[in-house]
Structure 1
Amino acid sequence: MPRTARLSRDDWAAAALAALAEGGAAAVAVEPVAARLGASKSSFYWLFENRAALLDAALELWEREQTDEVVARHAGIPHPLERMRILLRNALSDNRADLALRLTGETHPAVLEVAGRVTRRRLEIVAAAFRELGMEEEQARHRATAAYASYLGTFALARVDAAPADIDAYVDTVLACYAP
């Protein structure tokens, strides 16, 4: 982004989110994020009080883009199994989605809070789909946990170049394991 462009809070948050994805919470620092944007540190302080506010903005952006907006885009898919298939396929095809894996391993309190909230929400969304398929509450929660663990595990495998090559076949296999 050219230096002359006026940067918004979301611009800074997106750059901080990229830093978070690459190096964890410790990588979200004013100078490196400013450098990533081609901006000055002083421009940061027009928008944010401190580094913690930047980290919070990055986490809010991740939650909004990777959970709220994703759920909203797929809410109109009437059949729960098809909804889960499309959600999982899209999530596994999105290179930014593996941030969920990084965030679940963070120890920073702000990251833990948001990662926990997002994880609980995602688990509830999957469990609700399993309940729509006729499962009892406890079984739906257990299967949602197993399916989400498969999702996170796939990104862990991708880090060592062992992820499945055929995402569609993999998604079908995962859902066959957990859906009735």
Structure 2
Amino acid sequence: MTSKPRLSKADWLKTGFAALTEDGPNALKAEPLARRMKTTKGSFYWHFADVPAYQSAMLDVWEAEALTALTTVIEEEPNAIARLRRLGAEVTSYDSAVLADANPEHAMRAWAKDDPKVAERVAKVDGLRLDLLDGLLKESGISNPEWARLILAASVGLRELPANDDVAPMDSLIDLVMSLR
């Protein structure tokens, strides 16, 4: 007889992001998640005190991942324009094992419309993203802060379009913005 491997906290969180992306925030409850994972609710409650604690853990993971993307770009790119190009392309990207498959940007924003705690986290992350983009634009000679909002909005929106590997629309947007200097 083979036993099922034990589910980890990360397994539950990964499933939660997939459920959020596919079915919305109503799917973030112990029973539907357990069914999705073909296990019992007991496993859920082994890792999380209750559904609000689980949802809070999801927000923590999402925020940490979103902010990691920002610091990685700053540390790895040599100048403001290179950081701006990469940040524009990656500001709403997720590479961790928990989030990479789900790419929850749109789902987080939809969830935020109905949940003030989620809205607060999204606003915090967006504020940091906008501050960084605005700073890089200023360093590159562009002083209008609305360009930072447009770059962030384009990044969020591009995630909703089908992938097109032949075209780099964010690079085109950054080129257009840089031509305004």
Task: Give the TM-score normalised by the residue count of structure 1.
Answer: 0.79
Tell me the residue number matched to 2:137. 130
Does the 8 A contact of 2:70 with 2:91 survive in 1?
Answer: no
2:89/2:155 contact within 8 Å kept: no
Q: Give the C-alpha shift of residue 85 in structure 1.
A: 1.7
Do the aligned partners of residues 3 and 114 (structure 1) sit closer, same or farther apart at CA in structure 2, a change above 3 Å counting? farther
Of Structure 1 and Structure 2, the greater helix share is in 1
- When structure 1 is superposed on structure 2, of 30-39 and 20-29 the one drifting more is 30-39
Which residue identity lines up with residue 68 of structure 1 in the other structure? L
CA deviation string 1:156-175 (max 9, x = no partner):
4x1xx5x655342x122110
Q: Quick one: which amino acid aligns to residue 22 of structure 2?
A: E
User: Which residue of 90, 99, 105 maps to 1:100?
Assistant: 105
Structure 2's unaligned 5+ residue stretches are: 95-99
The structural deviation recorded for 1:71 is 1.8
TM-score, normalisation: structure 2 = 0.79
Q: Which residue in the other structure is 2:73 paired with?
A: 74
Question: Using CA pairs below 8 Å that are at least 6 residues apart, which structure has the higher relative contact order?
Answer: 2
Q: 2:177 is matched with which residue?
A: 178
Deviation at 1:130, TM superposition (A): 0.9
Percentage of pairs with the same residue: 28
* Helix, strand or coil at the partner of 2:159: helix
Amino acid at match of 1:175: I
SS at structure 2 position matched to 1:102 = helix
1:34 shift after superposition: 1.9
Residue 3 of structure 1, CA deviation: 6.5
Distance 1:178 1:104, change over 3 A: farther
Aligned to 1:38: 38
Q: Give the structure 2 partner of residue 64 of structure 1.
A: 64
Output one character per residue of 1:22-58: Cα deviation in whole Å (capped at 9) or x when no partner.
1221121112222333331011112212111111111
Q: 1:97 to 1:147 in 2, by over 3 A?
A: farther
| Pick aligned residue for 1:147 from 151, 155, 179 | 151
Q: Is the 8 A contact 1:89 1:167 kept in 2?
A: no
Which 5+ residue runs of structure 1 have no aligned equivalent?
none
Structure 1 residue 96 displacement after superposition = 5.3
Q: How many residues align?
A: 170
Paired letter, 1:72:
T
Counterpart CA distance in 2 for 1:7 and 1:117 is 31
SS class of match (1:135):
coil
Deviates more, 1:103-112 or 1:40-49: 103-112
